[in-house]
Each structure stands twice: as C-alpha cells, then as structure tokens.
Amino acid sequence: MPAGERETAPKRTGRRPGATVSRQAILQAARTRFAEQGYGGASLRAIAQDAGVDAALVHHFFGSKEGLFAASMQETLHPRTVVAGVLDGGAGGAGERLLRAFLRLWEGEETSQQMRGILRSAVPHEAAARMLREFITGEVLTPVAEALGGDAPRVRASLVASQLVGLAMTRYLVRVEPLAAMTRDEVVAAVAPTVQGYLTGPLGAWPPASG
C-alpha cells in the first residue's frame, strides 16, 4: 500500500446491527411520535425513518401499528413493576399505592408526554381505545384486584379504571380547576379512599342476585 494511504472500512448500509438495538430504536421513535401526534397521526413509515431502519423491520418486530402501540404502552407503564409495587404491603393501602404509581407516571419527566399521547389517542380512535382498555384492565387492574382476593375482580378493575381515566382527563388534559392545581398529596388524600373502596370494599348490589 503506498505511503500515506489508509485502508478505510466500508460504510455500513441497511439495517442497524443487532436486533435488540433496532427494536429499541423503533420503540423509542414510536413513543415520541405517539406522544406528539397520537395514534392516528403517527405513521409506521415516519417511525421507521426516525429510528433509522427500513419500514419492513417495524412489521418484523411488532406486526402492525396496533402491535407497536401496545408495545409502546408496555414500555411506558411497565405493568409488572406497577402491580408488584401496589401489592407490596397487602390489601391495606393498596389504593393509595396504585394512585401514587399512576400519578408518578402522569407527572414524571420521562413519561408524562407519553401518557398524554396514549390518552389523547384513545379518544378519537377505537383501536387505540380498545388497546388502552385491554391494557389497563387486563395487565394492571384486574391482576391487582385478583391478588387482593375480593369478589368480582373484573368489576372492581373497571371501577378503578373509571376513576383513574376520569382523573387523568380532568386533571391533565381538560385541566379542571382546582383539581389541576392540587398537589399530588392533596389528590391522594381526596381520591385514594375511593380507589381503595373499589379494590377491597363492598360492591353494594353487585353481583346481582341470580334467579
């Protein structure tokens, strides 16, 4: 080789090296797009461009836009961690622990924008709404209600969901005052007893008498 010349490595083209790196890059790009544009506004092509991969790789890892949205919720909420934290300490105080975990997600520096994107997506798009329903009840609230041992765990989970989703809409999206300006501890003091009641308290006339 003549003096002064160097052998240079060929530039990499095509897919990112390593499936784990590519999958994580797609997830990160998807979380950003869904947070900024919602489920309807975010396209798989744009997400692939942001991640620096071919669009076919998005389908390879996640199957569809619905699959990618569901994976993005998993990446944001970490349901197993939430459930474990709520159940740590038993039935007493489970409502408060669940509510505090929920508020941390909504107010966290790294998760608040994603949470807003998830909820905004669920309002106009039935597919996103269905995935959010299935996710929050199936992977978080029903497992908590079942582990606490009360009757009708799916009913309890749906009641808790009504409280948490309603709270998110009024506090973080619509910003109804004075709820929007209340501190986290003030919200917990006001709302946690209701969540605890849904999880472990009597359900009144439910389930209806048979026959």
Q: What does 102-160 look like in DSSP terms, one character per residue?
A: HHHHHH-TTTHHHHHHHHHHHTT-HHHHHHHHHHIIIIIIHHHHHHHT-S-HHHHHHHH
**Structural domain boundaries in the chain:** 19-64, 78-200
pLDDT band at 206 (very low <50, low <70, confident <90, very high): low
User: Where do we find the tokens 């209600």?
Assistant: 145
Confidence band of 11 (pLDDT split at 50, 70, 90): very low
> Quick one: pLDDT at residue 148?
95
Nearest to 196 by CA among 160, 162, 143: 160
Closest C-alpha to 73, from 16, 11, 139: 139
Residue 10 has pLDDT above 50, yes or no: no
Mean pLDDT of the chain: 86
Cα–Cα dist 77/190, whole Å? 24
Say which CATH superfamily domain 19-64 falls into.
Answer: Homeodomain-like (1.10.10.60)
DSSP state, residue 88: T
Assess whether pLDDT exceeds 70 at residue 207: no
Task: Give pLDDT, residue 15.
Answer: 44
- Is pLDDT above 90 for 5? no
Residue-wise pLDDT for 92-113, tens only, equals: 999 999 999 999 999 998 888 8
Give the pLDDT score at 143: 96
Q: How many whole angstroms separate alpha carbon 160 and alpha carbon 126?
A: 21
CATH T-level assignment (fold) for domain 78-200: Tetracycline Repressor; domain 2 (1.10.357)
| Single-letter amino acid, residue 176 | V
How far apart CA 65 and CA 59 sit, in angstroms, is: 8
Would the pLDDT of 14 be above 90? no
Q: How many percent of the chain have pLDDT more than 90?
A: 56
N- to C-terminal Cα distance for the chain?
Answer: 93
Dig out the tokens for 96 from the structure.
């408060």
Query: φ and ψ at 31, to 5 degrees?
Result: -60, -40
Confidence of residue 18 (pLDDT cuts 50, 70, 90): low
The pLDDT score that the predictor gives to residue 156 is 96
Tokens representing residue 98 in the block? 């669940």
